[in-house]
Chain A
Amino acid sequence: MKSKAFTDDQNMQPLIRVENLSKLHERRSLAGAREEVRALDGVSFGILPGSTLAVVGESGSGKSTLASCLACLEFPTAGNIWFDGTDVAAVRESLRRQVRPQIQLIFQDPASSLNPGWRTLEILLEPVILQGKFNLKEMRRRAASLLERVGLSSEIMNRPPAELSGGQRQRLAIARALTLEPKLLILDEALSALDCSVQAQIANLLLELQDSLGITCLFISHDLAMAAHLADEIAVMHRGRIVEQGPADRILKHPEHETTRQLLAAVPKITSGEQGAPEK
């Protein structure tokens, strides 16, 4: 995946293009005074099909707001989100509902992002089941192949998520997102709640999936090293703005903005050869 997006033709249309996106959160303090929080402030970027953009920033920098705006879960206050030729920030709710399956979000905490009352099979096929038209046998087969795809055994099909490990749950969340065959996968701190070795496994799974399915990804994280490992391009956010954006290697080696340097300083020293590979 890496290195492809920028060596290929530059004329390729981005799958999703964000222009000047802003989001204001209004908060009312105890005294009743209104207070405005600018979660997103004129954010613009585009992601080419099949590539990965990582958005990195400290907590409270607006990353998650960005994710839920892109996934059509929240309306931005201003700006456009062009997805497949339509501005999904401006259309009606009923149209947004049709767009949502194509943009899937994976959350930080796999324990709370899976319905605790359901079994694996139901969780996996939730969108199909709730729409009421399905053939159980066919669905089981599909579930099994999805589970295999994310490296889970189909033995867990009848187990509730409470009986799965953290890594298994996050794999299941990814499999569930894949059920709908989305075009864009948004990973909102999807690795942060997992321990190191599991993080690496899931990261590899993501790279594999991208290779085989050609999914476009938006990887949101505070971990600059992991972002550089997974993404072609990195955008650094600070207080709702993108302060620095560029190819992953460049950001890692020659950070320009103060925030980037701080984030880099927070990363334990990396000696992996991957980041050192020269960009073509």
Chain B
Amino acid sequence: MRFLLRRLAHAFLLLVGVSILAFLFTALAPGNYFDEMRLNPQISPESVRALRAQYGFDKPLPVRYADWLNALFHGEMGFSFANNGPVAPLLLTRARNTLLLTITATLLAWGIALPLGVWSAERLGRTPDRLLSWGTAALLVVPDLALALGLLVLAVRTGWFPTGGMASVDFETLSPLKKLRDLAWHMILPATALVLSALPLLVRHVRAALAEVLNAPFLLAAVGHGIPRRTLLYRYALPAAANPLIALFGFSIGALLSGSLLIEVVMSWPGLGPLLLEAILARDLYVVVGGVLFSTLFLVGGNFLADILLFWADPRIRTERSAG
């Protein structure tokens, strides 16, 4: 248990640290939302000053951070100047959309990578394995952006898939089942782009981890016990190879999340990505900080999930002695 508690404390500290840095860097960046107002001849300098005071921009930075932190504990995340509304509800919907896309992509990517990697490791060095290695290498060198744009071209040319958004215009009028189908249909393209960008790395790691275990004497011993091949691969070799893969799982959530921000922008998926981009361009301070904080939260959450899995999978961590 101590292992998990320690990891939880780490995660919390990390979140605090990231929030401070995000706050600091956004505040230190030249210009703020009101600077552009000052250039507008229709707004008097007095009203700009009043607005600045209203949102606390005349106070020193630490005080503003403390105010923001205080608001955070009350479930608020500041005010969005560009959207003229509180940040929290705005961010929550966007975060939900990002989470939906990322989780789907993560599950899909691992669901494909595991059997493919096992299949490849079983045939290590033979032609199918080599072909797959070439394939993953080729996919690895294609930038995410090119991948997303390529898929977008495909969607435009064929008209098979929607080219943006996450719902049809008549979404509200559909029955629940059709809503789900509509959502899935809109998700195909961005999810495919994400899965394709993450897949080669995952397949290669699964293959490498499993190949190592397949060569271990304890696996040979298990073969020697007359255990059937399938059982051996999935119930014996895969769990034994799981440790590095579980660590990779946490990492892959982070990678998919940052990949998702980009792909959301390209494919106009209404997630955190487009919102963050707009907010940064408009210097919408609280939206930026909130968006960064949410992304970090997902990342930390993903890693914490991996830690829990690791804790569950590896008896060496469970024994307090090695953790102490």
- Supposing A115-B236, A117-B314, A119-B315 touch, asked if A126 and B225 sit within 8 A by C-beta, the answer is yes
B319 within 8 A of A: yes
Interface size for chain B: under 10, 10 to 19, 20 to 34, or 35 or more residues?
A: 20 to 34
Q: Is the CB of B224 within 8 A of A71?
A: yes
Q: Is the CB of B315 within 8 A of A160?
A: yes
Closest to B243 in A: A117
CA distance A66 to B22 in the complex (A): 64
B227 within 8 A of A: yes
B139 within 8 A of A: no
Within 8 A of B (CB), among A162-198: 162-163, 173, 176-177, 180
Q: Is the CB of A100 within 8 A of B314?
A: no
CA distance A68 to B224 in the complex (A): 9
A116 within 8 A of B: yes
Chain B binding surface, main DSSP class: helix
Q: Is the CB of B220 within 8 A of A130?
A: no
Q: Is the CB of B315 within 8 A of A131?
A: no
Q: Is the CB of B218 within 8 A of A100?
A: no
Task: Output the least CB separation between A261 and chain B (Å).
Answer: 32
Closest to B223 in A: A73
A105 within 8 A of B: yes
A272 within 8 A of B: no
Contact of A180 among B225, B240, B313 (CB under 8 A): B225
Q: Is the CB of B222 within 8 A of A126?
A: yes
Interface 1/0 per residue, B213-225 and A, CB below 8 Å: 0001110111111
CA distance A119 to B315 in the complex (A): 8
Interface 1/0 per residue, B222-241 and A, CB below 8 Å: 11111110011001100110
Q: Is the CB of A115 within 8 A of B226?
A: no
Q: Is the CB of B315 within 8 A of A73?
A: no
B49 within 8 A of A: no
Q: Is the CB of A117 within 8 A of B228?
A: no
CA distance A112 to B213 in the complex (A): 10
Q: Is the CB of A116 within 8 A of B226?
A: no
Q: Is the CB of B218 within 8 A of A113?
A: yes
Number of A-B contacts (CB under 8 A): 79
The interface residues of chain A lying within 8 Å CB-to-CB of B226 are: 97-101, 127, 180
Q: Is the CB of A115 within 8 A of B235?
A: no
Task: Output the least CB separation between A73 and chain B (Å).
Answer: 6
Contact of A97 among B228, B315, B319, B322 (CB under 8 A): B228
Closest to A108 in B: B217
Q: Is the CB of B223 within 8 A of A117?
A: no
Q: Is the CB of A113 within 8 A of B239?
A: no
Q: Is the CB of A112 within 8 A of B316?
A: no
Q: Is the CB of B240 within 8 A of A113?
A: no
Interface 1/0 per residue, A148-169 and B, CB below 8 Å: 0000000000001011000000
CA distance A173 to B232 in the complex (A): 18
A114 within 8 A of B: yes
Q: Is the CB of A109 within 8 A of B319?
A: no
CA distance A104 to B314 in the complex (A): 27
A83 within 8 A of B: no
Q: Is the CB of A100 within 8 A of B221?
A: no
Q: Is the CB of B316 within 8 A of A116?
A: yes
The interface residues of chain A lying within 8 Å CB-to-CB of B231 are: 130-131
Q: Is the CB of B236 within 8 A of A130?
A: yes
CA distance A236 to B47 in the complex (A): 99
CA distance A144 to B312 in the complex (A): 26
A103 within 8 A of B: yes
- Supposing A116-B240, A117-B313, A160-B316 touch, asked if A130 and B235 sit within 8 A by C-beta, the answer is yes
Task: Output the least CB separation between B239 and chain A (Å).
Answer: 6
| Contacts A107-B220, A117-B242 supplied; 9 other A-B pairs, CB < 8 Å | A101-B224, A101-B226, A104-B225, A105-B220, A112-B218, A117-B313, A126-B227, A130-B236, A160-B316
